[in-house]
Structure 1
């Protein structure tokens, strides 16, 4: 590095050290932040009123309020409809459900830690040589991190979905349902003051 490039290189390195890359669900989306948090750490969800209504495949994506003729048979923890004398179970009633941890962000970070460190080392060398900038390195790293999170989401199978969930979804893919979570994965940059 020539002596006259030192201030320029120092400024680029300073940018790197004062910027944090945050990859994952959008910071401003409280619903997706909650979904990510529940999946990262697991949770027990308890009914706010009397029951949680867990849909069966017969209910599909409908809410209980959207199904005419829905009733709770005496002594049973279900909501059903009467189809000519035969009950079709639409919801299972539970006091609480336990969602196991599926730490897709943590898994991605741990699995790719060495790759990200290598990318930073190689990027800094390119900056020193005058062939790159802090912005280029940060965007490349952020895109890679977001793509790696999407891959982890797509390939995450353990712990499996509950049997009722597998029946409703028609498959066992614990972190995939509507595609909203995987489609939201992005990145942002935070400065030292944020």
Structure 2
């Protein structure tokens, strides 16, 4: 019991404060308003650009291979392929990502389950020689499983039409490659510590 009074289990994502992983998590959990840092537009790759150059395609990648240009009065960057214009980037003034509070929802949806696990765990410590560390580990594993489930079930708000097109019609807003779900983990930390 002394262990439980000095330790906690933390479930979620861990990394440097400015890591790409935590940036993506924050953008999904709280929403984000993205505007260009330079120039007037964000250059968002089309499905063709992603298919040909990969998910991390940059304008310089396409420009190194093709004559990339913006048709007058359009908000797209194209390539002329056999006298046919093929869109490689959409030019957007901003992107608004709505909040999808999957971390908070997991805590709310499963709070009674976690209370039951805690009660059973405390009884196991008192009567069956279980440990506080075992109880916190069980809570951590359950929390990871539950958070992954919440992410898989999430439907609203859905993806933007451009995102759906780039994901070949998929509209599961918190699942793309599954990498985010794989990165959910848990740690036992001292109470009040990092």
Distance in 1, matches of 2:78 and 2:161, equals 19
1:26 aligned onto 2:14: yes
- The SS at the match of 1:129 is helix
Deviations 1:41-99 (A, max 9, x none): 10100110122111221111232221122111122111110123221111111121100
SS in 1 for 2:173: coil
Shift in Å at residue 101 of structure 1? 0.6
Which runs of 4 or more aligned residues in structure 1 lie more than 4 Å from their structure 2 counterparts after TM superposition?
Answer: none
Structure 2 residue aligned with 1:64: 59
Classify the secondary structure of the residue corresponding to 2:128: coil
| Structure 2: distance between partners of 1:86 and 1:27 | 45
The 5-angstrom pairing of residues 49-60 of structure 1 reads 49-50=38-39, 51-60=41-50
The two structures have a TM-score, normalised by structure 1, of 0.89
Counterparts of residues 1-194 of structure 1 (less than 5 Å): 13-28=1-16, 30-50=19-39, 51-60=41-50, 61=55, 62-67=57-62, 68-170=66-168, 171-194=170-193
**For structure 1, which runs of at least 5 residues remain unmatched after alignment?**
1-12
Instruction: Indicate the RMSD between aligned Cα atoms, in angstroms.
Output: 1.4
Aligned residues: 182
What's the offset of the Cα at 1:193? Answer: 4.9
Larger Rg: 1
- Unpaired segments ≥5 residues, structure 2: none
CA contact (8 A) 2:76 2:91 kept: yes
SS in 2 for 1:132: coil
Residues 34 and 94, structure 2, Cα contact 8 Å, conserved in 1? yes
Alpha-carbon distance in structure 1 between the residues aligned to 2:31 and 2:80: 36
